[in-house]
Structure 1
Amino acid sequence: MEFTMRLRKVPSVHKNEDIIANNHKIVKKRKKSGSVCKKCVCSHYQNSTFDFPPVWLELRKKSQLCDGVVKCDDGSEFKIHRAILAAVSPYFRALFTNSINRDPTEATEAKMNISGDIFQVFLDYAYTGNCIINKTNVKELLKCADQYQILDVVQLCCNFLMEELAPSNCLDILKFAGQYFCKDLIERGKLYIKHNFSRILKESYEIYNLSAQHLEDILRDDELNVKTEETVFEAIKMWINYSPVRRRTHLFTLIKCVRLGTLTYDSVQEISKWHLLEENSQCKEYLQDVQTVVGSLSQEDDVDYINNYLFRPRIPYGVLFAVGGWSAGSPTNFLETYDSRADRWLFSVDTDSSPRAYHGLCNLNEIIYMIGGFDGNEYFNTVRCFNPLDHKWSERSCMYYPRCYVSVVVHDGKIFAFGGYNGRTRMNSVERYDPEKNQWEILPPMQKQRSDASAAAVQDKIYVVGGFNGQEVMNSAEAYDTVTKQWSYIPQMNSARSGVSLIAYGNTLYAIGGFNGYTRLATGEKYTPDVSSAWSDIAEMLTPRSNFASVILDDYIFVIGGFNDRFVSGSTTINYVEYYDTDSNEWYDAASMNVSRSALSACVVHGLPNAKDYSFLRRNAVDIGPEASKNGGP
C-alpha cells in the first residue's frame, strides 16, 4: 500500500513499508556559489511555484527529445533530458554545462557510481515530483541524493526516517544521520532516545555499540526519561559487560552519571556490590563517600538539589496538571503540577481567572481542556483551554448544556462529555467536541441519568460507570460503541459508587473509590471488556476518598485529593496522593499536594519541550506560594 508524501507536509507512515514522496511545487532558491557554510540538508527551505508537466513523463517514456545519457555502475543506461536533471540538482547542472571542467563544450554523457535502481528513483522524482521511498532503499537513496545534491530527495528521506524512529532502530538512524549532517533528523533522534530510553535498553542491540562518550552524553542529560536512577545503572552494566576488559576503564566516568542522591541508602548499597565497582579503587571510594552522605541525610537537611548533580532530579517526561476543585468551603482556581522525578508538587502562577469545581479535564493534542463545572453559584457550559507551551488560557465553543459532575473522556481525537447536573436535573445526554471545527454535537443519550459518574475508553468503546441519578447511588455500567453509535449495558460493579474514578489501563477498566450512599470507599474493582464476566476486587487504597482526580503516570494509577469523611478536624477535603501498581496489586504513598481539595480534575501531558517550566528544576529551592498569583490563586 502506498501513500502520497508531500514536501511541505509529511503524513505518518508508521504502518507502511513504502511511501510515494512527491512535490508538485518545487524549485529551490540556490545558495550563492561563494558560500561555504553547509546547511542542514533535511531542513525545510523556501520553494517557488513549479509544476511537473505531464508531457515530461510522456517524452521520457517515448525517449523523445532526449539529449543526454547516464550510465550507472551496473551497466544500465538511461536516456535523459539534461535540463530536467539540471533543474533538480546543481551537480547535474554543473556537470552537463561543463562548468566543473570549465570546458566550453557541454557534456551529454555522465557516469554515476550508483545502481540503476537508485538512479531510476531519482529520475522518477525529476520528471514527476514523485519517488518511492521504503525501508529497503531509504539509506542508499539518502546517501546518493546527498552525493549528487538532489536535496529534495534528501529531505524526503529524512522525513521518512523521522517517522520510522523506533526503539530498535533509533540509535542506528541517529548514527547514520550524523554522517550526512541531517540536523533535523539528528535532533529528532536525540529527543526520541531520551524519551524512550527504557524501551531502547530492552529492544535495541545498538546500545552495545555506542561509544563511551555518546553513552555518557545520553546518561547525563536532565531530560533522560527514567523512572529511577537504577535504570541508568543497569544501562552502564549492560554496556560494560558487553566487553568488560576493554570498557572497564570508563567505569568511573560513567558511574558518576548515576544520580545516586535520588536513591535510597539501601539502593546505593546494592549498586556498590557489583564486583567491577568493588574492584575499582576510584569507584569504591566514590561510592563509600556517597553512602556516607546519603545515609546521614535527614528530611530537615538543607540540600542544594538544583545545583548538586548527585541529588538533582531529572526533568519529568509526563507532567501532571491538577486544576481547580473545592477547598476550605469554596471553589478554587489552584493549578498545581506534580514532578514525578522529584516527587514534589509545585504551585503554578498559570491559574485561570474562573474558580470552579466538579468539572472535567482532559489533554487533547497537548492542550488542556477544562469542561463545565460549578463555581458555587453558576453551572457552566463553558470550555476553557490551557496551552502549556505559552502558559495561556483561552475560550472554546460552549457545550449545549451546563454540566457539573460531568464525565469527560478523549477518544479518536475528540472530547466526549457524559451526563452531569445542570442545576435542576441529573442528565443522560451526551455531547462530542471536534477541536478542528470548534463545535459540539449531540450524540445518543445514555440509558441512565448519571451525575458524579466516571468514563474511560478502551478501543472503540467508551464506558461509563456509577454515579447518582437523583434518588440513589448507582452500581450500573454501560458502554457506548463509537462505531455503531449504540449503548449497551455491561456487568454491574460490585459496589455502588458516586464520585468514583474510572481509569483504563492495558485494556482493563479500574473503578476506584467513591461514595456508596453511606461512606467514602477505599475499595476498587476491575473489569476487562470482552474477557471478564464480572468485576473483581483489587487492593484497597491507603485512604478512602470520593470526588478525587485520577491519571495514568509512569504506568501507575495515581489518585489525587478528594473527600474523606473519616477525618473530623474541620475540612473533609484531603491533599493525600497515592499510586497503584497493577502488576503487584499494591498502593504506595506519593507526595501530598500543597492544598487539600476535592472535586478537582487532573490530566497528564507527555513530551512537552518546555517540561522544565513545570518541574522542580525550574524552582530555586523555594516553592511559589498562593501569594504569588496575580489572579487570586497560587
Structure 2
Amino acid sequence: MFVTLCSSIYNELRLEDTLCDTVIRAGGGLDFKVHRLILCGCSSYFRVLFCIKPASQQQVYSFPGVSPNGMQLILDYAYTGSVTVTEDNVMELFEGAELFGIQDIVQSCYSLLLQKLCSRNCISIWKLAEQYNYTELRDKAFLYMLYHFEDIAGYSAEFLLLSGEQLADIIGRDELHVKQESAVFQAVLRWVNFAPEKHRDHMTILMSKVRLLLMPLDYLLDTETKVEQVKNNRQCLNMVIHTIKVRRESNTNRSQLRTRLPSHVLPAFGGIDNNHTTDKTELYDVRSDYWRTVFRSDKALPESSSCVYLNGSIYYIGGCENNSYLSSVQRFCLATKTWQEVGSMHKGRIVSALGLMAFFSQIGGYNSITYVSTVEVYDPLLKSWETASSMIHPRCNFGIAVLEDQLFVVGGVHKNGTSSVELYDGTIDSWQPVQDLEAPRFAVGCCVVERQPDTPEPQESHLHLVLTSN
C-alpha cells in the first residue's frame, strides 16, 4: 500500500513538472523532465550514468536511438512499475529496455516476439535478435524465414530491405522451403527490381545461389530469352546457358542434384549395414522419391533402438551395443544436426517407444535376461523418467499405435509369439485387455488410417488400425 502510494505521488510530481532535476531527450529531440532518483531505482544504467557527473554539470541526457514513444513507456514503467507490451510498441520498447538494462521489460517483449512471430515481422525480429545476441529468438526467426520463404518473398515489405549478403545466405540454405525452385528465382527478381541501381550489382552472386538444375527446361529457356536482368548480365546468362546445356546433354538423376530439404521427410537412423552398425542418417523426400545422406555420427548408433520425434528433435532410445543392453537416450536436433545425450532409462533394454504430446514413453522390451512389461515416461523439459503402470503381459517386438487418444500394443514376443492386445488409458494410468488377434504375431507394424467412404462394412469409428508383420 505504501509503495503504491509513493509511486502514485512520484508520478504526479513528474506530470506536474515538480522537483524534476534532469531532462531525458529521446530521438527526434523530444524532452522528458524526470527525477534522477526514480530512474536510478529502475535501472542500473541510469544509476551509473547519473553518478558519473554531479547534477550541476549536466542537465540533459540524449538518447537519439530511443523513440519518443519507447522512452515514454519506459519512464511510465520507472514511475508506476507497469507497462503494457503490444504488437505495436514491442520493437521500440525492446530496444529501449535493452539499452537501459530493464530486464522485466526485455523479458516481456521477448515472450511477445516469440508468440507473435509471423511472415510480416520475422525479418525485423531476426535483425533485432542478431543485434542484441538473443540466440534463441534469432534462430527461431531465421528458421521461420526459411520455412515461410514464399509468403515472405512475395508479400513482405521487410524482404525488400534485406542486404544482398543476407538474401544470398537465406536462399543458399538447404533448409529453404519452396515448392518449386522458380520461386527462389522470382524472389531474387523482386528484390533486384525494388532498387535496381542499388541491387543489380548483387545479381550474379544471388543467381549462383539459385539451383538452376532443379528448374524445368522450358522455364530456363524463357529465362534466357525474356528476363532482362539475366540477358543484360553476362555471368548470369552464362549460368543459365550452361544449365540448359547440361539438362539437354545428360541424363542427370534427381538424386544426384543438390536439392532443398523438404518440409516433410522420413528419416532413417542407424541400423545394420553389411553386418555392421552404421553411422549414417538418411532422409527420404516424398516429392522427389529419393533418399539422401544428410549426417554421419561420430560413431555408429546402437542396433535395435527406438526412435521418437518430439518438438523438433529425434530421440534415439536404448538398444544393444557390444552385447550390452543400453539405457541411454540420445537426442538429434534437426536444426543444428547435432547429437546430445539427454538422460537414461532406469534399466537398459531393447524397447518400443512412442511420442505423446509433450512426452514420450518406452514400453516393454527385452533386457538380455527376460521380457519386461514396465513402462517409463520421459519429460524432455525435466530430462527425467517417471514410471507408469506396467502392461498386463511382458512382451517385445510388438506393434504400437495411438487410435483416437488411446494407446494400443499389439502382439509381440513373450517366449513365443503372442496374440494379446492391450489398451492404455492415460487418464487413470491403467492397462486393459481388448480382443486378441486371430493368430499370434510379432515384428508387427501398426498404423492408423482413415476409413474410406466406400468401405462396405460400417464401422463405429472412421479410423482403424492396420497391421503388417513378417
Instruction: Decide: shared fold, TM above 0.5.
Output: yes
Choose from 304, 329, 336 the match for 1:358.
304
Asked if structure 1 preserves the Cα contact closer than 8 Å seen for 2:120 and 2:158, the reply is no
* Counterparts in 2 of 1:257 and 1:323: CA distance versus 1, 3 Å: closer
Choose from 325, 334, 337 the match for 2:278.
334
Cα shift readout 1:601-626 (whole Å, capped 9, x = no counterpart): xxxxxxxxxxxxxxxxxxxxxxxxxx
What's 2:39 paired with?
85
Given the alignment of the two structures, is residue 60 of structure 1 paired with residue 14 of structure 2, yes or no? no
* Counterparts in 2 of 1:359 and 1:91: CA distance versus 1, 3 Å: closer
Given the alignment of the two structures, is residue 385 of structure 1 paired with residue 330 of structure 2, yes or no? yes
The 5-angstrom pairing of residues 139-538 of structure 1 reads 139-142=91-94, 145=97, 150-152=100-102, 155-156=106-107, 159-160=110-111, 162-164=113-115, 166-171=117-122, 173-174=124-125, 177=128, 182-184=131-133, 188-189=137-138, 192-194=141-143, 196-202=145-151, 206-207=155-156, 210-211=159-160, 214=163, 217-221=166-170, 222-226=172-176, 231-237=180-186, 240=189, 250=200, 253=204, 254-261=206-213, 263=214, 267-274=215-222, 278-280=226-228, 281-282=231-232, 286-297=239-250, 323-326=269-272, 328=274, 332-338=276-282, 343-345=291-293, 348=296, 350-351=298-299, 356-362=302-308, 369-374=315-320, 380=325, 382-385=327-330, 396-400=343-347, 403-404=349-350, 406-423=351-368, 426-434=371-379, 439-446=384-391, 449-456=394-401, 461-472=406-417, 474=419, 479-487=423-431, 498-502=442-446, 509=448, 532-535=462-465
What's 1:33 paired with?
none
* Counterparts in 2 of 1:118 and 1:385: CA distance versus 1, 3 Å: same
Tell which has more relative contact order, 1 or 2 (C-alpha 8 A, sep 6+): 1
CA distance, structure 2, for counterparts of residue 83 and residue 162 of structure 1? 31
* Counterparts in 2 of 1:185 and 1:204: CA distance versus 1, 3 Å: farther
Cα shift readout 1:41-77 (whole Å, capped 9, x = no counterpart): xxxxxxxxxxxxx85544123459966349999xxx9
Shift of 1:484: 3.5
Shift of 1:85: 1.1
Identity %: 19
Shift of 1:419: 2.0
Output the amino acid matched with 1:217: Q
Shift of 1:408: 0.9
TM-score (norm 1): 0.51
* Counterparts in 2 of 1:385 and 1:260: CA distance versus 1, 3 Å: same
CA distance, structure 1, for counterparts of residue 437 and residue 151 of structure 2? 38
Asked if structure 2 preserves the Cα contact closer than 8 Å seen for 1:398 and 1:440, the reply is yes
User: Any idea what SS the aligned residue of 1:351 has?
Assistant: coil
Output the amino acid matched with 2:443: G
User: Any idea what SS the aligned residue of 2:209 has?
Assistant: coil
Shift of 1:407: 1.0
What's 1:581 paired with?
none
Asked if structure 2 preserves the Cα contact closer than 8 Å seen for 1:452 and 1:468, the reply is yes
* Counterparts in 2 of 1:252 and 1:473: CA distance versus 1, 3 Å: farther
Asked if structure 1 preserves the Cα contact closer than 8 Å seen for 2:446 and 2:465, the reply is no
Output the amino acid matched with 1:399: H
Given the alignment of the two structures, is residue 119 of structure 1 paired with residue 72 of structure 2, yes or no? yes
Shift of 1:259: 1.6
What's 2:85 paired with?
133
CA distance, structure 2, for counterparts of residue 141 and residue 246 of structure 1? 30
Cα shift readout 1:187-219 (whole Å, capped 9, x = no counterpart): 944763355434242377643553386367335
CA distance, structure 2, for counterparts of residue 459 and residue 277 of structure 1? 56
Asked if structure 2 preserves the Cα contact closer than 8 Å seen for 1:168 and 1:205, the reply is no
Shift of 1:416: 1.1
CA distance, structure 2, for counterparts of residue 375 and residue 486 of structure 1? 32
CA distance, structure 2, for counterparts of residue 132 and residue 120 of structure 1? 8
Asked if structure 1 preserves the Cα contact closer than 8 Å seen for 2:284 and 2:291, the reply is yes
CA distance, structure 1, for counterparts of residue 251 and residue 72 of structure 2? 68
TM-score (norm 2): 0.66
CA distance, structure 1, for counterparts of residue 128 and residue 295 of structure 2? 41
CA distance, structure 2, for counterparts of residue 502 and residue 376 of structure 1? 30
CA distance, structure 2, for counterparts of residue 103 and residue 114 of structure 1? 25
Cα shift readout 1:541-560 (whole Å, capped 9, x = no counterpart): xxxx97xxxxxxxxxxxxxx
Cα shift readout 1:83-120 (whole Å, capped 9, x = no counterpart): 121344588669989969x845979xxxx9846x9736
The 5-angstrom pairing of residues 541-560 of structure 1 reads none
Asked if structure 2 preserves the Cα contact closer than 8 Å seen for 1:466 and 1:498, the reply is yes
Asked if structure 2 preserves the Cα contact closer than 8 Å seen for 1:415 and 1:432, the reply is yes
Question: What is the count of residue pairs matched by the alignment?
Answer: 431
Cα shift readout 1:464-506 (whole Å, capped 9, x = no counterpart): 44534554465x7655343442446789999986334456xxx
What's 1:549 paired with?
none
Shift of 1:237: 2.3
Higher helix residue share:
2
Cα shift readout 1:573-621 (whole Å, capped 9, x = no counterpart): xxxxxxxxxxxxxxxxxxxxxxxxxxxxxxxxxxxxxxxxxxxxxxxxx
Asked if structure 1 preserves the Cα contact closer than 8 Å seen for 2:318 and 2:349, the reply is yes
Consecutive unaligned residues of structure 2, counting only runs of 5 or more, are: 61-65, 451-458
Shift of 1:145: 4.9
